[in-house]
A and B are shown apart, each in its own frame.
Chain A
Amino acid sequence: MRRDYSEFRARDVVVVAVGPDDARAFAKYWREEGLPFVGLPDPKHEVLKLYGQEIRLFRLGRMPAQVLIDKAGVARYVHYGHSMSDIPDNAEMLALADELNAASGPLRSDVTPGEADSAGGEDPQPTVSSHEW
Chain B
Amino acid sequence: MPRVSLNAPAPEFALPDFTGRPVSLSDFRGRENVLLVFNRGFT
* 17 cross-chain CB contacts under 8 A: A12-B33, A18-B36, A29-B42, A41-B15, A41-B18, A55-B10, A64-B37, A67-B6, A67-B10, A67-B35, A68-B34, A68-B35, A69-B36, A72-B29, A78-B6, A93-B35, A121-B30
Which residues of B are in contact with A by a Cβ distance under 8 Å? 1-13, 15-20, 23, 25-26, 28-43
Q: Pick the contact of A18 from B9, B16, B30, B37 — CB < 8 Å? A: B37
Which residues of A are in contact with B by a Cβ distance under 8 Å? 8, 11-21, 23-27, 29-30, 38-42, 46-48, 50-51, 54-55, 57-58, 63-81, 84, 87-89, 92-93, 97, 100-101, 108, 116, 119-123, 133
Inter-subunit contact A73/B26 (CB<8 Å): yes
Inter-subunit contact B1/A80 (CB<8 Å): yes
A31 and B15 CA atoms in complex are apart in Å by 20
Residue from B12, B32, B35 having most chain A Cβ neighbours under 10 A: B35
Which residues of B are found within 8 Å of A12, using beta-carbon distances? 31-33
